[in-house]
Amino acid sequence: MRTLSYLLRESWVNMWTNRTTTMVAILTTAFTLACVGIFLLLYVNLRAAAGWLQDDIKIMVYLDDRLASDSVTEVEQNLRGDRAVASLLFISKEQALGEFKAQFPSESHLLDGLGQNPLPASFVVALSPSFRSPDAVMRWADRVRQVAGVSKVDYNQDWIDALATVIRSIELVAIGIGVILSAAAVTIIANTIRLTLFARREEIAILRLIGATTSFIRIPYLLEGAVLGALGSTLSLVMLKFMYELFRQQMRTTGRFAGLDNLMAFFPPSVCVALIAVGMGLGFAGSFVSIRRFGEAKA
């Protein structure tokens, strides 16, 4: 008990004695981690958006124009029997024409000139959740193209794919920046701990002489690093949350992207806790690095 309170007190005394350095370390760590956090937040939000779009994906299955109506029923039954299909909506040639005219009134004369309705009948298909990934959608479409009576299968995968590419690049950038800035955070904390170790080298030498184990000597410094990291990442989350609210506010008042502000999300509590834990781990790593170096330099 006394030993534990001694170790905690030592960590506290270390931090309090070097409070300026400690504050600077926490602030720089916070700014560093906030930079990573911005990308992470962007990434999380874009991924969520891509997820919604992907979930919303509708596949048009156009039917052969010469198809008899009982063959249409056959295709429909075929589709209904498909495990991947969640829902199905039939659009007849006439409905298609009506929709076209409603959507493009000025161009409807183009169709009038043709004499007969050139638009094919189609099924609008929504896939069940487990078949909505881009790959699964593509495989499904390829399969259905082979079905007799189907002339064409179409879906808006292109720009979803484009978004996925953007997300992947952001992911790469986030990982790159995350690795670099995490290393920076580790270095910042390592330097702070190094200063403490240097200031207390006499004391550490004495502790060694009187029979303190290596772990006993290390614990206060590891604790200090972990606390610095945890405080740094907590502060970075506070800063991010503040920026996030400010941004949303801005979006609301300018009126642009109306509604989008409600779709934006901050990290859920579990992720916040995980990020604080990561910060703690980085701090721990930083002080470990310093302790190892210090240990090698000792007489």
Partner 1 sequence: MRTMIQLIHVSKQYDQRPALSDVTLEIDKGEFVLLMGPSGAGKSTLLRMLIGAERPDEGQIFVHQKNVTTLKPSDIPHLRRKVGTVFQDFRLLPKKSVFDNVALPLLVQGISSADIRRKVTEALRAVGVEHKRDQLPAGLSTGEQQRVCIARAIVNGPVVLLADEPTGNLDPVLTAEIIELFKLINARGTTVVVATHDPLVMAQVNRRVLTLSQGRLLPEHRVLV
Q: Which of 8, 89, 138, 205 binds partner 1 (CB under 8 A)?
A: 205
Round to whole Å and give the CA distance between 31 and 228. Answer: 13
Question: What SS3 class is residue 267?
Answer: coil
> Residue 193 Cβ, how far from partner 1 at the closest point, in Å?
19
Round to whole Å and give the CA distance between 220 and 209. Answer: 18
CA distances from 23 to 81, 149, 265, 283 (A): 65, 72, 30, 14
> Residue 211 Cβ, how far from partner 1 at the closest point, in Å?
4
Round to whole Å and give the CA distance between 88 and 95. Answer: 15
> Residue 24 Cβ, how far from partner 1 at the closest point, in Å?
23
Choose the binding region for partner 1 from 34-42, 102-110, 197-205, 247-255 (rule: CB under 8 A): 197-205
Q: Which of 81, 112, 209, 254 binds partner 1 (CB under 8 A)?
A: 209
Contact between 202 and partner 1 per CB under 8 A: yes
Contact between 207 and partner 1 per CB under 8 A: yes
Round to whole Å and give the CA distance between 182 and 281. Answer: 10
Nearer to partner 1 (CB atom), residue 158 or residue 202: 202
Contact between 296 and partner 1 per CB under 8 A: no
Burial of 32 (0-12, 13-18, 19+ CB in 10 A): buried
> Residue 291 Cβ, how far from partner 1 at the closest point, in Å?
14
Contact between 214 and partner 1 per CB under 8 A: yes
Round to whole Å and give the CA distance between 151 and 280. Answer: 59
CB 91 within 8 A of CB 77: no
Contact between 2 and partner 1 per CB under 8 A: yes
Contact between 114 and partner 1 per CB under 8 A: no
Round to whole Å and give the CA distance between 118 and 126. Answer: 25
Contact between 146 and partner 1 per CB under 8 A: no
Q: Which of 8, 162, 206, 258 binds partner 1 (CB under 8 A)?
A: 206
Contact between 19 and partner 1 per CB under 8 A: no
Nearer to partner 1 (CB atom), residue 114 or residue 209: 209
Question: What SS3 class is residue 91?
Answer: strand
Contact between 199 and partner 1 per CB under 8 A: no
Round to whole Å and give the CA distance between 277 and 117. Answer: 64
Site track 155-194 with partner 1 (rule: CB under 8 A), x = hit: ----------------------------------------
Amino acid at 49: A
CB 50 within 8 A of CB 110: no
The contact set with partner 1 (CB under 8 A) reads 1-3, 6, 202-203, 205-214, 216, 299
